[in-house]
Structure 1
């Protein structure tokens, strides 16, 4: 084995170790977030998520650091809407809506992304990019994978709205969902 072969092998090992470390770090970040949220709920008696009129003044004075927009991650996570297989979805109704999407392959969440262009096609544009021959959404490895598996990927979405603030919420929500689920294509492919 020559010097260049050994050097190539060392880079492969380093890349593998880096990927494993990043995946472990993302899992730990998700665990730390969940623990901090549990502590916050215990300290506040979970009053921030209730809509009782007795707690209105308290809610206005104290901002819940675990809210994304006006919901917790757990509340958002219950709002997924199933659209179907990526290659077959009618995306026209989602032309001006923004939010996050997840791709499921063989029953596993494999990728989480966001659609944030409320004034330029929203979900319709973002998800259609993965179905086209052009490479507009495939600058990263995950986009290439989405395109290659478009006939097998089941897509779910969470609509956050149709304006600039909704796009900001979608961006925050995407980060938190990736930390929670650590989808393989978000972690391993985009970080190589």
Structure 2
């Protein structure tokens, strides 16, 4: 027969010993409390001016030459495939471009108005609003009518390309027929980047 565990409702036959408290020292034996003494405060002084430096060609060639500073080109990538979008974002950022990515046509329409991209890389088959509809809306909106738009799609039918061209696309690239270097080259071409 196996020993049984004690029943929690049955009183323990062994007496319980209470812990003995540690003796409390008399007040005369206790150390005096330590009061922090504030450090002397020096009078406030104005910060020393930074040394003046002249712009150097290496620091900013445009500022040195008197030309306006060029901002990175803004690209709106509209792509619902996360893996593919990440590849394009990394490569275009490596080319010195400022990239914003959205995953559907509805977000693309909002982003174009708030981000003001120089170029839109636009997928066709997406949730909410198709790339064809986004293209049509952008071309018929005065604020976005001249924005460069490259369709980057899986649709390879000539009729799809013809539809995009009739809506005013600047370029039409089929994903299965291009590599990322081709896409970057077309983006640079449309943005007049050497």
TM value normalised by structure 1: 0.22
With CA pairs under 8 Å and 6+ residues apart, which has the higher RCO, 1 or 2?
1
Task: Return the structure number with greater helix share.
Answer: 1
TM value normalised by structure 2: 0.21
Task: Return the structure number with greater strand share.
Answer: 1
- Structure number with larger C-alpha Rg: 2
